[in-house]
Each structure stands twice: as structure tokens, then as C-alpha cells.
Structure 1
Amino acid sequence: MASAYIASSEANSDVSTLEVPLKLSSFLQSLLSYLAGTLEEVVGVDDASGFIALVGQQMGNEINQIYQEAMGDRLVPPEVVAKILVDLKNRIEGQFFIVEQDADRIVLGNHRCPLGSGVVGHPSLCMMTSNVFGVITAHHLGYAKVCIEGAIANGDQGCRVVVYTRPSAAAQAAMGREYYKLEQSKDD
């Protein structure tokens, strides 16, 4: 009976020297893609988006806290909020940029999803962006409505995200999710 083990010197080779394209970032991107795909198949895109929104809210709170501490625990104006949104996405290997900004909204573009190419076909993952942007903006400005008008996840060439910074007729007419500043009790 033939042995299932290789008896050559190859069996003793150092596998850590193999050219295997496996790194933490690609592993985590694949993990998120498979997780989103499984959720979308089992519970549907809408419910999967809801589950991912919960995680996105926690991430938004955590990331906001990091920026708050780095900036001296102060609220910032809309132009700084826009810079925070771009900075955080670019730190995690996105390619976000400000398209335009006025008193009522921040329009952002993006050429590369931080979640990698595995995001394509999994629009529920856009809830991470929506919730992180919404939580941070609402914390500083009191209100946000995030509208994903274009998304790499939907097969678009890039992303277009509109963040309304105050309630308005345009914000009400737009399709998206609203966020409000959570008031903390004096005991917090």
C-alpha cells in the first residue's frame, strides 16, 4: 500500500517560503465578502444590510471616538467632518475624495473600495460606509442622511456618497438612511 506521505526532501521544505498570496488584508476582505454573500443568500439583501448596519454603527462609534480623542474631544464644523470621512476611508486603503460640499451636504467619490474587489455583488456591505459616515456626521453636526448613489458593490466604476448634514427638502426627497446625534446622559 502506498504511503499518503511524500517521502522526498520536498516534505521537509519550509512552507513559509512558498509564494502564497495570503495576507491579513486579503483574508479579511474575503471573509467579509463570504459573510455578506452568505447573509444575503440566507436572509436576503435587506436583512443582511440590517445586520451589517449594526456592526457599522459600532464601528462608527469606535472610529468617531478615535478621531475625537485625537482632536481634543471637541465637535468640528462640516468642512472638518468631510475631511475626517475621507481620511478614515483612505487610511483603510480606499480612494475617497470630496467632490463638492456646501452648507447642506457633502458629496464624496471613491475609486477603490477598502473592502476589496470581493465587495462586488454584495451591496449590503455598503451599510458599513453608510453607518460610519452617518454616526460621525450626526455626532458632530446633529444630523446626517447618507445616500449611496453609486457603489462599486453594485458594479459601478466608483462610489458616489451624498451625506446631507441637515434636514432639508432635498434630504427628505433623497433615498438613504437618517442618523441623529445620540444624547449622552450626565452619568456617561
Structure 2
Amino acid sequence: MATVDTDSRRIPLAQLDIPLERDLFLRNLIRELSGVLEDVVGLREAAGFISIVGQNMGNQMDLDYKEALGVSRLTRSQVADVLVDLKRRIKGDFYIVEQNDDRIVLGNRACPFAEKVVGRPSMCMMTSNVFGIIASQSLGYAKVTLEETIARGDQGCRVVVHLKSNAESEAASGQEYFESLT
């Protein structure tokens, strides 16, 4: 066991009260990366870079859920359940507020990034992209609107996943996603 010498004794390093473990380290890493991106290239471009990562993760999660469920496409109800489940698995607290053929509305009481997301709105592109990719790959289209976010200082999140291109989704701000043909 590694120790460190102090003036009067040797202290095992493993016994030091240092807030360092894998989960906290990775959340700090992502926070710092997003902060550097926001500072260097701006919020819009930082969100774009994070979107690419979110898209790749969304594609993998979509495949993982479909394989585990033994389906090639998810129903609207399954999409909603998958979005809640994937966030639960990474310590988010998302829940379905409402769902119908036009949209899925989700609330959230706890971000997977915890307090590390505050002041880093670009990190919310992970949610937008993962949700948008999973919904669009099974339902053909999605537009994700982040109406409220913990990152922007709201008490919780309110995320609307529009499932059809219509007047309501056209009027909403957000990112559009389309089914990949590959």
C-alpha cells in the first residue's frame, strides 16, 4: 500500500479523504471538456461537438435496446419507456409526463451529470441526441425541444420529443432527427 510521509507519521494514501472516484472523475472530465469547448469555440459550436458524441452513443443505445428486446423497431410506447430506462441506468430521474402519437413529454428531477451540468448547457446535447436518435430510428422522425434544463438553472428538465413534423413541431425550437437509411 502506498504511503506518504508527514512530519510525524506515515499515512496510507488510500485512507486520505479525497473526493476522487471514477464516476466523479468522469463527470468532472466531461464538465471541463464542455467548458473548454464553450470558452474556445462558443456555446453553439460546443453543442455541435457534443451532438456528434451523443449521436454515436444514441445509435449504440438504440441497437442495444432493440437487440435486448428482440425487435427491429420500437413502438412509440417502447421508445418512451426506453428513454426513461436509459436515463435511470445512468442515475437520471426522467419520467413520462404525457405521450401521444404526436409527442412524448418527459420530466426530469436529477441529471446523470448531477451538479456538474449546471452552467454547461452544451452537455444537454447528449440528451437531445440520444433521445432524438432512438425515437427517429424507430418512428422515422423526431424533433427534441429542451424546454427546461437543470444546466440552465431550472429546478428540473422538461424535454419534448416531437414525433411528427407538423405545425406544433415546426413552431418549437430544437434539433430535428431523421431515420437513417443505413
Write the mapping of 1:1-188 to structure 2, written as runs, cut at 5 A: 6=6, 8-10=8-10, 13-184=11-182
| Larger of the two Rg values belongs to structure | 1
Which segments of 5 or more consecutive residues in structure 2 lack a partner in the other structure? none
Deviation readout 1:26-75 (Å, 9 max, x if unpaired) = 11111111111110000000000000000000010111111011011321
Counterpart Cα distance in 1 of 2:43 and 2:17? 36
How many residues end up aligned between the 2 structures?
178
CA RMSD of aligned residues (A): 1.1
What is the Cα deviation at residue 144 of structure 1?
0.3
Please report how far the alpha carbon of residue 120 of structure 1 lies from its aligned counterpart in structure 2 after TM superposition: 0.7
Aligned-residue offset at 1:19: 2.5
Tell me the TM-score normalized by structure 2: 0.94
TM-score (normalizing by structure 1): 0.91
Q: Shift in Å at residue 20 of structure 1?
A: 2.0
User: Residues of 1 paired with 2:101 and 2:66: CA distance?
Assistant: 22
Secondary structure of the residue that 1:152 maps to in structure 2? Answer: coil
Q: Report SS of the residue matched to 1:76.
A: coil
Percent of aligned pairs sharing the same letter = 51
Query: Deviation above 6 Å: which 4+ runs of structure 1?
Result: none
How far did 1:9 drift? 2.6
Per-residue deviation, residues 87-132 of structure 1 (Å, max 9, x unmatched): 0011000000000111100000001100121111110111000000
Query: In 2, Cα distance between the equivalents of 1:22 and 1:100?
Result: 39
What SS is found at the alignment partner of 1:153?
coil
Other structure's SS at 1:128 match: helix
Question: 1:128 is aligned with what amino acid?
Answer: M
The residue matched to 2:91 in structure 1 has which SS? Answer: coil
Amino acid at match of 1:116: A
CA-to-aligned-CA distance 1:132-166 (integer Å, 9 cap, x gap)? 00000000100000000000000000000000011
